[in-house]
Amino acid sequence: MTACLAAVGFLLISGDVAADDLSLPAGARVGIIQVMSTDVTHYHVGKNRQGSFMRTYRVSWPISEIIESPLAAQIREAGFEPLVLEPSDQLRRQTRSWFITTSQSARLPKAAMEEVERVIAEENLAALVLVTPGPNANPESIAGNRLRRLPVYVQGWGFSTSDEPDGIAKPVVFNLVQMLLFGHDGNDVEFAFREWGGGYVYEWANFDPGADLKALPAEEIDKFRPIISDVLQRQVGRLMPHIKAAG
């Protein structure tokens, strides 16, 4: 069976930084740093609390093929020089307090901005895209969004089944990823824009729950890879209009 992704569901209005689109000179260096995990989360919403459960599947997909490669390709296509960087120890250790717990804020902690500024200066970047997890923030603002029934601690990407009609046959696919865009004008570093994947929901149309919903076979989880790859490609497409060539 081929995995299938249904159309975009709902758009989350709140949570984005008011954007000043970045205008960069042709050939400018644009850094890419991601601190994501490829783990796939399955959360089942039962009719009661006892019927709900969460399962995390560890997979071995190269995350570079899911995030860095498509992002770098679009940056290159826009006329800039992408540079994939490893996250510093500070970025890895402080991801939760710096970026996850501030996912609805237009400002980042001072220490976070200082680390971003250090990376941009050290690598001589005109811009930086930082890809991090985010929480299931404010899902109740989307009418009909089944993600509102997921705990706020769910992060990253995955899918949700439920005991509602069609809740198992057509799981909700969620992408709780934020792409943070920083720009450098030669003097200051600005936090320009946050692209929040959590504002969009999708359906996994050809999902097969198998014999045991709590222990899905590896072959079924492997079908999730092209789905989340497509979802992230769409997210990159929403980010890129905010990075423009000057002149």
- For residue 137, the model assigns a pLDDT of 67
pLDDT digits (tens, 9 = 90+) for 95-128: 988 988 777 777 888 999 999 999 999 999 999 9
pTM to 2 decimal places: 0.87
Let me know if residue 6 belongs to a domain.
no
Residue 5, domain member (yes or no): no
Instruction: Please indicate, yes or no, if residue 7 is contained in any of the structural domains.
Output: no
Q: How many domains does the chain have?
A: 1
* pLDDT of amino acid 8: 39
In terms of residue numbers, what domain contains 114? 22-245
Mean pLDDT is lowest, of 103-117, 168-182, 220-234, for 103-117
DSSP string, 168-218: TTSPEEEEEEEEEEEEE-SS-EEEEEEEEGGG-EEEBTT----S-TTS--H
What are the tens digits of pLDDT across the range 14-39? 334 445 789 999 999 999 999 998 89
Task: Tell me if 114 is assigned to some domain.
Answer: yes
What percent of the chain lies above the pLDDT cut of 90?
60
In this structure, is residue 8 part of a structural domain? no
Helix (H, G, I), strand (E, B) or coil at 118: helix
Q: Determine, yes or no, domain membership for 172.
A: yes
Tell whether 169 is covered by a domain: yes
Mean pLDDT for 218-241 is 95
Residue 103 lies in a domain: yes
